[in-house]
Chain A
Amino acid sequence: MTPPVLSVRDLRVEFVTRRGVLKAIDGISFDIAKGEVLGVVGESGAGKSVTGSAVIGLIDPPGRIAGGEIRLSGTRIDNLPPEELRRVRGKRIGMIFQDPLTSLNPLYRVGEQLVETIQTHTNLSGAAARKRAIDLLAEVGIPAPDRRIDGYPHEFSGGMRQRVVIALALCAEPELIIADEPTTALDVSVQAQIIALLKRLGRERGTAIMLVTHDMGVIAETADRVAVMYSGRIAEIGPVRDVVMNPLHPYARGLMGAIPSLVQDADARLVQIPGSMPRLSAIPPGCPFHPRCPHAWERCTRDRPEPIQRSEHRVACHLYDANDPTAAAHKIHTHAPLEAGIPS
């Protein structure tokens, strides 16, 4: 069996600060297969962007990878020397950031930036690289690419700029693309176009995509599988349809119910999770979600829940521990509406 394009095992990322070591990522494991889109969702501070940065080796000091393994098509990349990692980055892993304006150099024409990237990673001649750049712009849906290639980034609209950034990420035909909030800065109608583009690229080229976003709607329509992150850990991971329609982890359940949807009853109250995500400096012991969890019992304040396989989901919650005879007693499947007040 061929190894998955990306395989992450027990990854831990820490930030060393004056006030102590903050664990931004605390032991996460996941795979992404060829042509698969893995959505990574979570609220701010859950560690989703740090996961993306760790995979591509862009964690800046004081942050560091404190443990675990990252494999790209079977070979370890987390311990490569910087020079070799630089060759992997861009060539085998492409990156798309949230703000297209900051990922493009405003002083160079779009074509120059594309040609430079293509020539860095391939041996194409200048003319051939330019031809390839035009093909890429056409592929990402930029009209009149042979003319637009000589434009500067400021001459493109937000959506068109993000298309250029996607073309840049595709230059070296990477095996994996990490897209960090690729549509967050865009308007809905443009966002839909970019989502459709990403989906098509994954399907046609077999590129594995790690899609990091806080927008469950985007994930629901784009991803094949989804990982829900909370306080630097994966609370639940599984096929997108199951996780959206039938989440198991109490946090995932609360999160899905909290999102206003276009198809639910508009008069229904949104599910409310009391409180907010803990700061990295004050992650509670045991399960980090326990202070906000309607099912939590004494064990949750003590033991850290390990991922449990439930059909196609993996869920990190003691409720699903078959070896714990007391777990069933806490499993009430209605998420009781909680009070508006926040416990401080």
Chain B
Amino acid sequence: MSSSPTAPTPTGTAAPAQAPLVQAPFVQVKDLRRSFDVSKPWLNRVLEGGEKQYLKAVDGVSFDIAKGETFALVGESGSGKSTVARMVVGLLSPSAGEVTIDGVSMTNAAFSAERQRLRRRIQMIFQDPYASLNPRWGVDRIVAEPIRAFDLIQGEADIRARVGELLTLVGLHPDDGKKYPHEFSGGQRQRIAIARALASNAEFIVCDEPTSALDVSVQAQILNLMRDLQDRFGLTYLFISHNLAVVRHMATRIGVMYLGRIVEISGGRELFAQPKHPYTRMLLDAVPDVGMTGRQRIPVKGEIPNPINPPTGCTFNPRCPFANERCRAEVPPLAEGVACHAVHERRITIPAAA
């Protein structure tokens, strides 16, 4: 950590991550939970005497996203970040908790009419552009689908003009609309997916690992494009990624997830300059980085435990060098932007940004 030449920031003060907002946040996620039934089939349970088993993929996640900001969720595989993304857009219904977007509940049935109107303003970009575009449809039809679905523009000529405009916006040629997805490279396909997301004048875009299937030079093109579009249209992003360097480049605020819970939430710069949670510190120390040739690293201990049978108390306790009895018994609440008993009790000092 000492080799990082990032600018120093003040230490010891309470995290300003949860600054009070004047109006209600654009996206509000409250105590979101989702468990999956991973039991053996009924007959096996009867014969072998097994209990029903549940996997808590998301276990009480809360965060806010202000309009125009990029909120990122990072974590390793199995941390539940993609499950959160799917619940936020409504592709998966939560077991408990609430998602509110611009004052409209996505989970409460009473809001169904408003929710239908809200749908237009929410779009998603998926990880694999080979799977998210219909191979039998021409690009024109793919990009026009949201326009037609929400009945935004009447008249074929006008729709075609709008599609051409959208393709130009993402760095393609209007004539590319006549082609099929297989005629494009991975990066170009992701551009098509972005054009489709913009087609309905979406304001909030959930991006689930949008560049992890792409090569680095193409990844840079897509990340730059996403930032340009955000500046231009004031888009709000929920950005899911396992790549900390990408997240640092994109996010204004970051939530770090571990086994279905947010362990730390803070401003983008702050998280990297001054990570608080032992897991965040371990993660930041573990990332191989081009700027850190020949650095000495602190060895990482252990692996993510099985989520079906997570450790009691703080789920990070078996890997944590600071764990004590309380950590093994009691789930730490998220306070001052970090869910860690050791930090709350001031048992570990937050190192000054080096």
Q: CB < 8 Å: which of B172, B286, B295 contacts A191?
A: B286
Residues of B near any A CB (own CB < 8 A): 4-6, 76-77, 171-173, 176, 185-188, 215-221, 223-225, 227-228, 242-246, 248-249, 268-269, 272, 282-295, 297, 299-300, 303-304
Residues of A within 8 A of B249 (CB): 260, 266, 270
Q: CB < 8 Å: which of B215, B225, B272 contacts A340?
A: B225
Q: CB < 8 Å: which of B224, B293, B300 contacts A193?
A: B300
- Expressed in whole angstroms, the Cα–Cα distance for A274 and B63 within the complex equals 37
Contact status B176-A344, CB under 8 Å: yes
Extra contacts besides A189-B286, A215-B288 (14): CB < 8 Å = A43-B217, A192-B288, A192-B300, A220-B288, A221-B297, A222-B288, A244-B290, A258-B220, A262-B248, A270-B220, A273-B217, A340-B221, A340-B224, A342-B172
- Expressed in whole angstroms, the Cα–Cα distance for A261 and B285 within the complex equals 13
Residues of A within 8 A of B243 (CB): 260
Residues of A within 8 A of B4 (CB): 262-263
Q: How many A-B residue pairs have CB under 8 A?
A: 157
Expressed in whole angstroms, the minimum distance between the Cβ of B214 and any Cβ of chain A is 9
Expressed in whole angstroms, the minimum distance between the Cβ of B176 and any Cβ of chain A is 7
Expressed in whole angstroms, the minimum distance between the Cβ of B252 and any Cβ of chain A is 10
Residues of A within 8 A of B186 (CB): 276
Expressed in whole angstroms, the minimum distance between the Cβ of B11 and any Cβ of chain A is 20
Q: CB < 8 Å: which of B5, B242, B272 contacts A187?
A: B242
Instruction: Report the nearest A residue to B213, measured CB to CB.
Output: A44
- Expressed in whole angstroms, the Cα–Cα distance for A205 and B279 within the complex equals 33
Q: Does A254 contact B (CB under 8 A)?
A: yes
Contact status A195-B288, CB under 8 Å: yes
Residues of A within 8 A of B77 (CB): 187
Q: Does A271 contact B (CB under 8 A)?
A: yes
With A187-B242, A258-B216, A258-B219 known as contacts, the answer to whether A220 contacts B300 (CB < 8 A) is no
Q: Does A269 contact B (CB under 8 A)?
A: yes
Contact status A261-B293, CB under 8 Å: no
- Complex interface residues of chain A between 180 and 228 (CB less than 8 A to chain B): 187-193, 195-196, 214-218, 220-222
Instruction: Report the nearest B residue to A276, measured CB to CB.
Output: B185
Q: CB < 8 Å: which of A160, A189, A269 contacts B283?
A: A189
Instruction: Report the nearest A residue to B7, measured CB to CB.
Output: A265
Residues of B within 8 A of A269 (CB): 224, 227
Where chain B touches its partner, the secondary structure class is helix
Instruction: Report the nearest B residue to A46, measured CB to CB.
Output: B215
Residues of A near any B CB (own CB < 8 A): 43-44, 157-160, 187-193, 195-196, 214-218, 220-222, 240-241, 244-245, 254-264, 266, 269-274, 276-277, 340-342, 344
Residues of A within 8 A of B300 (CB): 189-190, 192-193
- Expressed in whole angstroms, the Cα–Cα distance for A277 and B216 within the complex equals 11
Contact status A261-B224, CB under 8 Å: no
- Expressed in whole angstroms, the Cα–Cα distance for A193 and B295 within the complex equals 14
Contact status B187-A276, CB under 8 Å: yes
Contact status B291-A188, CB under 8 Å: no
Residues of B within 8 A of A187 (CB): 76-77, 242, 303-304
- Expressed in whole angstroms, the Cα–Cα distance for A272 and B172 within the complex equals 15
Contact status A262-B242, CB under 8 Å: no
With A221-B294, A254-B217 known as contacts, the answer to whether A261 contacts B245 (CB < 8 A) is yes
Residues of A within 8 A of B187 (CB): 276, 342
Contact status B217-A217, CB under 8 Å: no
Contact status A221-B217, CB under 8 Å: no
Residues of A within 8 A of B5 (CB): 263
Instruction: Report the nearest B residue to A254, measured CB to CB.
Output: B217
Contact status B228-A218, CB under 8 Å: no
Residues of A within 8 A of B284 (CB): 262
Q: CB < 8 Å: which of A263, A264, A266, A342 contacts B171?
A: A342
What are the 10 tightest A-B residue pairs by CB atom distance, in nearest-first order? A217-B288, A263-B291, A258-B220, A43-B215, A192-B286, A270-B220, A187-B76, A260-B249, A260-B245, A273-B217
Residues of A within 8 A of B289 (CB): 217, 220-221, 261-263
Residues of B within 8 A of A192 (CB): 285-288, 297, 299-300
Contact status A272-B224, CB under 8 Å: yes
Please, could you name 10 A-B residue pairs with CB atoms under 8 Å apart, sorted by A? A160-B303, A187-B76, A192-B287, A214-B216, A221-B289, A258-B217, A262-B284, A266-B272, A272-B221, A341-B172
